[in-house]
Structure 1
Amino acid sequence: MSGKDRTDDPIVRFSGVRKSYDGETLVVRDLNLDIVRGEFLTLLGPSGSGKTTSLMMLAGFEAPTEGTISIGGKDVTALPPYRRGIGVVFQNYALFPHMTIGQNVGYPLRVRGAAQADIDKRVVEALEMVELGAFADRRPAQLSGGQQQRAALARALVFRPELVLLDEPLGALDKQLREQMQYELKRLHEELKVTMVYVTHDQTEALTMSDRIAVFNDGGIQQLARPSDLYENPQNAFVAEFVGENNRLTGIVTGGSENGVYVDVGGGVSVHARPVGSFAPGDRTVLSLRPERIAVGKDGQWENDFTIEIDKVVYLGDVNRLLLRFAGGSEFAVRVANQGGGPVFQRGDSVRVAWRQSDCLAFPAE
């Protein structure tokens, strides 16, 4: 999204928000978050990380234990959901089975007292927008899962809200349809310039769709950044491991250079890494290294260069996934593109692997 498509004033602000169900355990802790008007923000994290609870508090279905939530500069912490003017799409669609698709989509307008002529016009527009114009008279049970999800999206958009919340809306779809709907949602977001807040545990989905991603764990945001920044420059070991495929190696810092640290990963192997934080000799560290940043059979002047035996080969069609193991026991994966006519890898073969020091991140041990 370009700067001209939105202003940088927050449409949503969480201020010191906490949530506890039992008065002791915090499922959301000290949440301070501004959501920019017009952006597509994804709340990403594992089950129990606090992301869905945060979305439900924004929708008004859950009340914060502490703190305030504002929308458009107005404190809505105590407002019921129907007075917040938010469109919501759930994973289970939540369509009324006894109503037609047209009636389902028009429901938000009817409860707001809109004239029937206006309802009819806007239902047609909303269904055309999600390519369901010919399905207005069908019941939800007569539609596929993907079509039901489109109908639920049309219902959330029909009253033209400024803010739409989506709680794992594609979770029940198969892989191909899920990917198709990702692009469809992003297209609608760009066309309508509506603010979308999206909850998922699928990091590929988050990277594909988002302007920014808030990575949740243990009730709080671990990092908030654009997808490329999140992937290239994770702030801690959890973010590095959760976002994208990642090799995790553990070791002991033995010393430093002008722009890095040397880490003993066992078996007499020393890896040169880029530190995230400060280290002293003897400190334990966790190394993060993306499989695609490791070159196989490359001659070059990279800081890390080893010859290692292949422990396992996994054929994935477009790539071969090689599992290698240092003498000290540390295992890591390498992805090699299947270009046809290239080398055939087998277990027990020795291969030369290399990577840049800047691509190997050293985090403080947890």
Structure 2
Amino acid sequence: MSPRSATPVVLLSSLTLLLLLLLLLLLASPPVTAHASHHRLLPPAAVSGPAAPQAAGASCADVHVLLWRGNNEAYPGRQGKLVRAIQAALGGEAPAAAPFALPPASSSPSQPAPPRPLPRNLTCDYEDVVFDNARDAEYCGAVEAGRDAGRAQLAAYAARCPAARLVLAGYSQGAHALGDALGGTPAAAEPLVRGCRVSPRAGLDPAAAPGNRIAAALLFGDVRHAAGQPYDALAAARAHDGAFPRRGAALAGLNRFAPALRAWCEPADPVCAPGGPPHALRAQDHLGYFDRYADEAAAWVRDRLRGAAPATSGPAPERPRVAVAGSAGVLAGWLVWALVGWA
């Protein structure tokens, strides 16, 4: 191809990236300006506004949700839709009819324990994991802070409310921190963003408190998504790794919680699947999980509490896309992380 004939291709690629840049600026999260209250009571399912802070010393809930938000999100971030959906699936805020306990986890998601009755209404509150992951925070330091703060808050609630069942959810950078809280960070952890490393720490034990109190753990758009895991909700993403996939001891530690895990990764998400379809990485696929999957995730949490089988989703339906051709797809992924703060 002559230099003259190559010029339109270069211009088209540049224009495509410019359009993507403008789109991502519009989609970017508002900056975090202050820390929020740790405990929050879920609003009634019909209410879409922010939740009111839970009073100090408030009574224990039957189900307690902890949220690890995405980078630079205000509390509770995009996962506010998820907690409202979970509350609705569990029957609202009326007191539970009777105490309940999670049945023993099966050794395989494909061989679940048999379903059993669930009380008609369960109290359900949520708590933001409080850590500094604003846009200008160093990436690995923020992950480490989220990992450690989440574990401390999890242990504190479990000790204060020994009958409660715990549901954990993390999005984007928050999914990374949640995954490390569960599975641990090996001493030989590989370098991540800009060569940073997260300090080592052993993972939780699923057979001992507070790990044995975890009823469900949900990961959305995880930068450390590893291909081929049985807990992937979207079959089309099982062939794709995240930008920094878990390997070896990191993956083995997380997979000890496999019966309680569920992960959502769109195959064109440039954060959890940057090696996906090279012609069509979509920023909105990383930003839209809770518009598309909040109800599905809430139903899975409800079924998990019942001991019912998890259902695996097929590929997501097609919709209008932002397409980036060839090697520009990888650059698009970095633009997403830079502009929307890994969220």
TM-score by structure 2 length?
0.28
TM-score by structure 1 length?
0.27
The answer to which structure, 1 or 2, has the higher relative contact order (CA under 8 A, 6+ apart) is 2
Which structure has the highest strand share of the two?
1
The structure having more radius of gyration, on CA atoms, is: 1
Which structure has the highest helix share of the two?
2
